[in-house]
Amino acid sequence: MKIKVKDIPASGTEFSESISASSLDVDRDYWMLARDVDVDIYGERIADYVSLKIRLFSKKKIVCCRCLEEIEVPYELSFDWQDKVRDELQEIDVDELVRQEILLNIAVRELCSDTCQGICPECGGNRNKGECNCAKD
């Protein structure tokens, strides 16, 4: 969605949209959007500036870097964006702001949980699913 600066009154207003996961094109091998992204936006003017508060809601599918399990978890992100108003007809490309913010926030590694036990180096078994026999030698 593109928002025109002139459509944001000084008193503030809300916008919302849903962006398809495929059009955002942010997926990588261990991190994927599992559904479309719902976007809530609050826009307002502060002096010569236009300000947006943007909240994203979706689901992400991640591959744990320790145990290699694939899991789906809720995905939420919020951020603020501001720019000086140069022209009332200026357009703000919200989809592109959202895309860049998602990319900035993708972790280098994902974990299924902070306590993930990972994979046994001996047998390759997932230690979250119980002790393997290797430990008992």
Interface positions with Zn ion (CB under 5 A): 64, 66-67, 112, 116, 120, 122-123, 125, 132, 134
Output the smallest distance, CB 113 to Zn ion, in A. Answer: 7
Which residue, 46 or 134, is less far from Zn ion as judged by CB?
134
Asked if 94 contacts 4 with a C-beta cutoff of 8 angstroms, the reply is no
Sequence-ordered list of residues with C-beta below 8 angstroms from that of 86, at least 6 positions apart, any chain: none
125: left (phi over 0), alpha (psi -120 to 50) or beta: beta
Which residue, 39 or 67, is less far from Zn ion as judged by CB?
67
CA 122 to chain centre: 36
Residue for token pair 């091998």: 29
Output the smallest distance, CB 32 to Zn ion, in A. Answer: 16
Output the smallest distance, CB 123 to Zn ion, in A. Answer: 3
Which residue, 66 or 99, is less far from Zn ion as judged by CB?
66
What 8-state DSSP symbol labels residue 8? S
Which residue, 54 or 112, is less far from Zn ion as judged by CB?
112
CA 78 to chain centre: 9
Output the smallest distance, CB 61 to Zn ion, in A. Answer: 14
